[in-house]
Amino acid sequence: MQFTDIGGITLHHQLIGGPANKPVLVFANSLGTDFRIWRDVIVRLAGDFPIVTYDKRGHGLSDVGTAPYRMEDHVGDLAGLLDHLKVKSAVICGLSVGGLIAQGLYAQRPDLVRALVLCDTASRIGTTESWNTRIAAVEKDGIAAITDSILERWFTPEFHQQRKDDLTGYRNMLTRQPVAGYTGTCAALRDADYTEAAKSISVPTLCVVGDHDGSTPPAVVRSLADLIPGSRFKIIDGAGHIPCVEKPDELTALVKRFLAQLPME
């Protein structure tokens, strides 16, 4: 395991070496998860590309720090980590809140971003009311109180029926996240709006969404793609909000095809 102090926050991360002539792929995870959600994509890419993944603050084995957070806190953490690892001009692949972190990173540190893969995300997710309601529910009764509704959005009915052991594992992952880290990131999501910033993204961008995504449905992700000049939009059939878990082959194929078409630096 690898740990690094970034501005007083210890981040758990993983650096996997790869060919020096290939872009570094950076994976940012969703709310209520840690970087293990990317495992089945990473094993399909390892050896072909250098890879960085990490637990954002308040999640996994990273520090909680002082909550609530701003999205700029998450963005600063990732920028600091990439600077520490001497990574520049990377392909940032962010899922849900990770996609907002990716957008924020491009807005603040474009030197770190060669391309974007924005997975099941938007320029703004949810409403102030919806996030405040969720924060109140979790602070009152814990993450377990909302777990069933979250898992319904994360995964398709087929996943629930056919992969019950996996479902239990991801339930455990969600409920074991620190409450302060979870609600702190809810507050960051509540206050983040990259709608105007998205219009200024000028690097190659792929927007991907599961057709059964209950958190950021295809129409929402399509709206993000429409904001970003020249972006590509793809739907993965048979996937919910976390296609890296549910359909890793399909997501990896889309990412590989996108990477193969990147202009030479």
Rounded Cα–Cα distance for residues 41 and 251 (Å): 8
| pLDDT above 80: residue 149 | yes
pLDDT bracket for residue 264 (50, 70, 90): confident
pLDDT > 90? residue 154: yes
Q: What are phi and psi of 26, to 5 degrees?
A: -120, 125
Give me the residue label for tokens 């609600």: 183
- The pLDDT tens digits for 82-108 are 999 999 999 999 999 999 999 999 999
pTM score, whole prediction? 0.98
The contacts of residue 31 (CB under 8 Å, 6+ apart) are: 96, 97, 182, 185, 186, 189
> What's the pLDDT tens digit per position in 18-67?
999 999 999 999 999 999 999 999 999 999 999 999 999 999 999 999 99
Q: Which residues contact 161 (CB under 8 A, 6 or more apart)?
A: none
What is the set of domains in the chain, with CATH numbers? Answer: 2-260 (3.40.50.1820)
Q: What is the tens place of the pLDDT at every residue in 211-236?
A: 999 999 999 999 999 999 999 999 99
In this predicted structure, the answer to whether residue 146 has a pLDDT above a threshold of 90 is yes
pLDDT number for residue 1: 75
> Is 223 within 8 Å of 208 (Cβ atoms)?
no
Average pLDDT, the chain: 97
